A and B are shown apart, each in its own frame.
Chain A
Amino acid sequence: MPRGNGKFLSMLPVLSFLGYLLFSCVICAAMTGDARLLKLWFVSSPVLIAAALTLAKIAGNPDTGA
């Protein structure tokens, strides 16, 4: 089975997810001009924390991921 190496490859799924969150939640909310939608970010804090922890774990040990 092919195995990828390196931190970047290991982080790719998390970065893709965060990229989508940045576009579909942050940028789209900002474009509406409705500040309430930006302030609503905290309801997604579990997934933001999980993404941050995953990146930190991979940064500490790249073999953790891919």
Chain B
Amino acid sequence: MWKDLTAPEKRVVGIIAVLLGTVVLFSTILHHLFPRVLDVPSIAGLSFTSYRAMFLLDLIPITLGALCFYHAYRTLGLYKASVFLGGSFFFTGLMENMWVLMGRYHAFSWFSQNLDSVTGTYYFTRAFFWWGEMPMVICLGWFFIAYSLVYMVGVLIPRSSSFLRAALAGFLAMSFDLWFDPVQVSPLWQSWRWLSNETIKVFSIPLSNFAGWFLFIFIFAVAFDRLPRILEKWGTGKGTLMFFLTLLLYKAGMLLLLMTYGAVAMKYVSPPVNFTIWGI
């Protein structure tokens, strides 16, 4: 409950709530009313793109996310539940926005000349609520998928090391996406569109996407597991800031890792490889 929180915890929860709400409101208005600002690609001809359909489709993950948030609130308390939610949005939201926008504006060459020929990354097509250039429900999906998988692994192997639990959660997330991604990019849905000419693909989807799923969940689970120690050392206010700065550091590391992989793969893997089943 709100009244059970300390004053610094209230401040953190309030800041996270205001920031999330403001960014979603601003991004949603920008995306729908001023698409030229960020060169939003056309989605003409795509199914389920009326505002009503997009709103109803958004409601499903919002409901499931709310259930997970309720569980987090009841078991971890409002402060940690909010940090998990805010951290998920901050960690995955910023990272995916960077990928989308770096692909859109061909901003990879600065890292390596091997990436000069990259044709883009991907972009999201439909959503009512937005978080930058990614649907708000994708961020929310990251929250409740991360939360559910970390919880499941905690139930299954509670006495294992945090690294092993985080790695298993990452592996389970990746196994989920191996089905999820091909369905969502199928011609009917096209929830996002891949533009990448990455040289190694699985089910016609860049391998780095699946590596990203593992890394997102693994890194976030490790970081969240260390939150109590950070809070103990720095206190609530500074500790929360340190937690988010740690996420930022991990995010930079993950970006460098994936771009290094991309530069190596673009140079040495030729012709491109695509591991498919039944032509998918």
Contacts and interface: CB of A to CB of B under 8 A. Distances in A.
Interface in B224-280: 277-280
B182 A37 contact: yes
B220 to A, nearest CB: 15
Interface stretch (B11-19, B29-37, B68-76, B123-131): B68-76
Contacts, number: 134
B176 A44 contact: yes
Contacts of B151: 13-14, 54, 65
Contact of B71 (A4, A34, A46, A47): A4
Given A2-B73, A21-B176, A37 B68 contact: no
A2 B178 contact: no
A46 B172 CA distance: 6
**Residue among A25, A47, A64 having the largest count of chain B Cβ atoms under 10 Å:** A47
A65 B40 CA distance: 43
A23 B60 contact: yes
Contacts of B182: 37, 40
Contacts of A2: 1, 4, 73-75, 77
A3 B75 contact: yes
A21 B144 CA distance: 12
Contact of B61 (A20, A34, A47, A54): A20
B189 A12 contact: no
Majority-rule SS of A interface residues? helix
Interface in B127-142: 141
Majority secondary structure, B binding face: helix
B138 to A, nearest CB: 11
A17 B172 CA distance: 12
Given A14-B148, A34-B186, 18 more contacts: A2-B1, A2-B77, A9-B74, A15-B67, A20-B144, A24-B183, A25-B180, A28-B189, A31-B188, A36-B280, A40-B182, A40-B183, A40-B277, A44-B178, A47-B176, A50-B149, A53-B156, A54-B156
16 contacts: A2-B73, A16-B65, A20-B64, A20-B144, A31-B189, A37-B183, A40-B179, A44-B176, A46-B172, A46-B175, A47-B175, A50-B153, A50-B172, A54-B152, A58-B155, A66-B71
Interface of B: 1, 4, 60-61, 64-65, 67-68, 70-71, 73-77, 141, 144-145, 147-149, 151-153, 155-156, 171-173, 175-176, 178-180, 182-184, 186-189, 203, 277-280
Interface of A: 1-4, 9, 12-17, 19-21, 23-25, 28-29, 31-34, 36-37, 39-41, 43-47, 50-51, 53-54, 57-58, 64-66
